[in-house]
């Protein structure tokens, strides 16, 4: 079975550019989570969806961040405009139930 | 301040040794999860514990949930180099996905 698939695996871009991260959850899972991981702050929940509906976006750092889930098999996390402090590894996870069970391998984002 | 504290932060041991890592909080959790994360990959769920005092075994790994559901431990017997990684605990304070938080992790290195 395919796990959670994230793309791209690596993204390097200049400050001010728009960044779009993509996630395909495991088929049949009803929850999708976006996390950010840094050495300083560890794993932080940004937003999660239940049945494609955003439930809690209180972890989204500011208005530059937005996330969508147009259908059960696809989600995006967008940063516009990007800043160097957004550099981190971004993970998507999906699950049956409210605790994240399966993580993707992440997108390593570097903003120059 | 972290809602979940993990200790030790770093641990380096020789193959064949036993070890215990800890996850502590002042809050009560409805469930607690342990994950292992290897470099360049997402966290992998190892176990979920839900009952105070519960003990679960996964081959050489033994997980215990404290009686008061505020703490947990992970014991590894006869550690192997393949056990190397970042061990994360995470807790849910309710059953609806709210307030699900990760600890900062214990980075384990098992030397051959």
Lowest mean pLDDT among A64-68, B12-16, B82-86, B92-96: B92-96
> What percent of chain A is predicted at pLDDT more than 70?
99
**Residues of chain B contacting A93 with CB distance shorter than 8 Å:** 42
Q: In whole angstroms, what is the distance from residue B38 CA to residue A73 CA?
A: 26
**Residues of chain A contacting B101 with CB distance shorter than 8 Å:** 45
The tokens of A82 are what?
A: 């990007």
B103 touches B9 (CB < 8 A): no
Give residue B2's pLDDT band: very low, low, confident or very high (50, 70, 90): low
Mean pLDDT across the stretch B27-36?
A: 92
Predicted pLDDT at B3: 84
pLDDT digits (tens, 9 = 90+) for A46-93: 999 999 999 989 889 889 999 999 999 999 999 999 999 999 999 999
The tokens of A28 are what?
A: 């049949």
What residues of chain A have any CB closer than 8 angstroms to a CB in chain B?
Answer: 4, 31, 42-43, 45, 48, 50, 55-56, 91, 93, 98-106
Q: What is the DSSP string of chain A?
A: ----EEE-SEEEE-TT--EEEEEEPPTT--EEEEEEEETTTEEEEEEEEETTEEEE-TT--STTEEEEEEETTEEEEEESS--GGG-EEEEEEEESSSS--EE---EEEEE-
Mean of per-residue pLDDT scores for chain B: 92
The tokens of B7 are what?
A: 């200790």
Taking the mean position of all CA atoms in its chain, how far away is CA B59?
Answer: 15
Distance from CA of B47 to the nearest CA of A (A): 10
Kindly tell me if the per-residue pLDDT of B97 is higher than 70: no
Q: In whole angstroms, what is the distance from residue B7 CA to residue A81 CA?
A: 38
Distance from CA of A76 to the nearest CA of B (A): 18
List the one residue out of B26, B22, B29 whose CA is nearest residue B101: B29
Q: In whole angstroms, what is the distance from residue B101 CA to residue B55 CA?
A: 21
Its sign, for the CA torsion A106, A46, B52, B69, is: positive
Predicted pLDDT at B92: 83
- B64 by DSSP, 3-state: which? strand
CB contact under 8 A, B42 and A48: no
The side-by-side arrangement of strands in the sheet containing A74-79 is: A5-7, A19-24, A74-79, A65-71
**Residues of chain A contacting B103 with CB distance shorter than 8 Å:** 42
Burial per residue of A63-91, b for 16 or more beta-carbon CB atoms within 10 angstroms, e otherwise:
eebebebeebeebebebeebeeebbbbbb
Mean pLDDT across the stretch A9-22?
A: 97
Predicted pLDDT at A97: 85
CB contact under 8 A, B95 and A98: yes
Q: How many CB contacts within 8 angstroms connect chain A with chain B? A: 46
**Residues of chain B contacting A42 with CB distance shorter than 8 Å:** 102-105
Chain B, 78 to 107: residues with Cβ < 8 Å from chain A are: 88, 90, 92, 95-98, 100-105
Is B66 near chain A, with CB under 8 Å? no
List the one residue out of A31, A33, A7, A32 whose CA is nearest residue A20: A7
């Amino acid at each position: 079975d395919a796990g959670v698939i994230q793309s791209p695996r690596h993204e390097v871009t200049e400050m001010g550019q728009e960044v779009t991260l993509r996630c395909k959850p495991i088929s049949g899972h009803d929850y999708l989570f976006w996390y950010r991981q840094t050495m300083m702050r560890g794993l932080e929940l940004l937003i999660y969806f239940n049945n494609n509906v955003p439930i809690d976006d209180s972890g989204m750092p500011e208005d530059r961040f937005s996330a969508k889930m147009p259908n059960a098999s696809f989600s995006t996390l967008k940063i516009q405009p990007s800043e160097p402090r957004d550099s981190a590894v971004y993970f998507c996870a999906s699950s049956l139930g409210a605790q994240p069970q399966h993580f993707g391998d992440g997108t390593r984002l570097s903003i120059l | 301040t972290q809602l979940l504290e993990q200790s030790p932060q770093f641990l380096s041991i020789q193959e064949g040794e036993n070890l215990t890592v800890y996850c502590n909080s002042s809050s009560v959790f409805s469930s607690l999860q342990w994950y292992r994360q290897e470099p360049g990959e997402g966290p992998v769920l190892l176990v979920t514990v839900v009952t105070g005092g519960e003990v679960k075994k996964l081959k050489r790994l033994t997980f215990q949930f404290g009686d008061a559901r505020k703490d947990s431990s992970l014991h590894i017997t006869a550690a192997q180099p393949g056990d190397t990684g970042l061990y994360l605990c995470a807790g849910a304070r309710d059953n609806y996905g709210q307030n699900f938080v990760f600890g900062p992790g214990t980075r384990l290195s098992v030397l051959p």
